[in-house]
Amino acid sequence: EVQLVQSGAEVKKPGESLKISCKGSGYNFTSYWIGWVRQMPGKGLEWMGIIYPGDSDTRYSPSFQGQVTMSADKSSSTAYLQWSSLEASDTAMYYCARPTGYPHWYFDLWGRGTMVTVSS
Amino acid sequence: EIVLTQSPGILSLSPGERATLSCRASQGFSNNYLSWYQQKPGQAPRLLIYGASKRATGIPDTFSGSGSGTEFTLTISRLEAEDFAVYYCQQYGSTPWTFGQGTKVEIK
């Protein structure tokens, strides 16, 4: 089965670091980009950026450039999203999703999401 | 950045009725690269439409997309109980890709 499996919910304090994961299976992980999408509580969807696991080429949305770091490990078919210093405003559901590929950057496969809660 | 404005914010309809959702872009973008997603509470979004009018795999023909330029529409011809959800449009013709703020289709 083609799927993206995300890591479990996280509860962190402001200033802490965090790395969440998204493991792809059932397809050639290195041949498709992986995107990340944020959804703050009760709000809409925001595209954060994409990474190509084949060579770790990464493109960030200007709104998230410098705020998060995307990475990928080909050997484990896993993409990561990390923060060095969390803020309360990072509280959100984070989805990984697979775009079909150039030039069709719509997301046809989604993970179930990782809920990140940042609270003192 | 292209801003997508969806209307109405909330659409109250009964099962069996027709739903018409609008997505307006602040400027045009390449090749009508617009998609629609459905999201139910506690679930990830699901792709419905891409390329403005092409149905994704497994999507029933009660869902249709249309439009071009800066005006796009998602139509659900006859609402089923499982269609009550939030719908988002997304443009992928110009980076940064952007989503609309969503239209909630609720049971009247």
CA distance B101 to chain A (A): 5
Provide the pairing of β-strand B10-13 with B103-107: parallel
Is residue A50 exposed (0-12), middle (13-18) or buried (19+ Cβ within 10 Å)? Answer: buried
Q: Chain A interface, mutation test: which of B48, B95, B104, most A Cβ atoms within 10 Å?
A: B95
CA distance B7 to chain A (A): 14
What CA–CA distance (Å, rounded) separates B6 from B103?
A: 6
Quick: pLDDT tens for B65-94.
Answer: 999 999 999 999 999 999 999 999 999 999
Quick: pLDDT tens for A34-90.
Answer: 999 999 999 999 999 999 999 999 999 999 999 999 999 999 999 999 999 999 999
Q: Is the Cβ of B7 closer than 8 Å to some Cβ of chain A?
A: no
What's the whole-number mean pLDDT along residues B31-48? 96
Query: Given an 8 Å threshold on Cβ–Cβ distance, is B97 in contact with A105?
Result: yes
Phi-psi region of A113 (alpha: psi -120 to 50; beta: other; left: phi over 0): left
Instruction: Report residue A51 as tokens.
Output: 């990474």
Question: One-letter amino acid identity for B102?
Answer: G
